Structure 1
Amino acid sequence: MLNTQRLVLRPWRASDATSLHEYASDPRVGPIAGWPVHTSEAQSLEIIQTVFSNPEVYAVTRRQDDIAIGLVGLLIGQDSHFDIAQDEAEIAYWIGVPFWGQGLIPEAVRELMRHAFVDLELGALWCGYFAGNEQSFRAQAKCGFKHHHTKASTLNPYMNDYRSEHISYISKQEWLMLQQPN
């Protein structure tokens, strides 16, 4: 488990299927992140048991109620959707619509970055967002990620469509510089 001022990042549980379905069934969440809307609690449970079972994938929960409201995760090396080194990871994240605009994802991502660089000793982190998902871009920028390159018209197999994806990057050295007091 990882902790921030307002959040607990913990492994997903089967009991999270109800809240996962509640937030992932909203068409404003998955499609802009590149995955289809959840259509049933059973589907959400299956995703918890398969996709979210990776040891570095966390449910984002608020300290006061332990209800899963989103996800942050590290896809390390070959598990990434990007062609990256084994000591690098892609950060994935999303949060339910009622929690947009509260700074919760940047808070969770910052803690995941600390975990990646300090605990796991990774050398760099990558993030992607699809064209049009400006709130995702802003979350990455708040965490120190810089645009690296854009992949135009790439097949997204989860939605079976073609999209342009903007890829951001931060090295451990760049992250360490951001941690120093001004």
Structure 2
Amino acid sequence: MTLETDRLTLRYWEESDAEDLYKYASDPDVGPIAGWPAHRSLDESLDIIKNVFSGKEAYAICLKEDGKAIGAIELKLNGRTDMTNRDDECEIGYWLGKPFWGQGIMSEAVREMLRHAFEDCGMQKVWVGYYEGNIKSKRVQEKCGFKYQWKSENVNVPLLNEKRTGHVSLMTKEDWLSRK
């Protein structure tokens, strides 16, 4: 499946995206703030495409002008998230390559994924989280209309073997409809 916005194409990951993924995911300013280690090799990026970005609703964020992957966005359905165990709720997760920060790209991608979640996937709620200090992710959530729910101390960040403070927000279908 492919989703489109004015500037972006959101499409399934392909093995041929490994080089572009590595280019942005190897930046230490990108992954660790979101809870995952910077990629150390092209092979690791290829493995991530095959085994992590393999979810039914996992998409590469691509600029329409060249089709190259510059980030990732996923609706983490029941079984791929610890935020809900319901089939009509999911969690959204995302990251973007550093050269593309501050251009409204992620807010544009998140808005399209919310539309897709509520209109195409039948979701009633979309959960989202960020770790303390990830101001960019917090700002995207605010711009897209998520409502802050709670803060949790000592949240496990298993991929980095540490604990952090986590923040959780929510978008309901009703809230989304009222913003359209």
- Which residue identity does 2:12 align to in structure 1? P
Helix, strand or coil at the partner of 2:79: helix
Are residues 1:114 and 2:115 paired? yes
Structure 1: runs of 5 or more not aligned: none
Helix, strand or coil at the partner of 1:122: coil
Fraction of identical pairs, as percent: 47
Normalising by the residue count of structure 2, what TM-score does the alignment of the two structures yield? Answer: 0.98
**Could you report, residue by residue, the CA deviation over 1:42-94 in whole angstroms, capped at 9, with x for unpaired residues?**
00000000000112000000000000000110001231132342210100000
Structure 2: runs of 5 or more not aligned: none
- Which residue identity does 2:31 align to in structure 1? G
Helix, strand or coil at the partner of 2:159: coil
- The correspondence of residues 4-83 of structure 1 with structure 2, limited to 5 A, is 4-83=5-84
- Which residue identity does 2:159 align to in structure 1? Y
Helix, strand or coil at the partner of 1:163: strand
Distance 2:68 2:149 in 1: 34
Normalising by the residue count of structure 1, what TM-score does the alignment of the two structures yield? Answer: 0.97
- Which residue identity does 1:154 align to in structure 2? V
**Could you report, residue by residue, the CA deviation over 1:86-106 in whole angstroms, capped at 9, with x for unpaired residues?**
210100000000000000000
**Could you report, residue by residue, the CA deviation over 1:78-136 in whole angstroms, capped at 9, with x for unpaired residues?**
31132342210100000000000000000000000000000011000000000000110
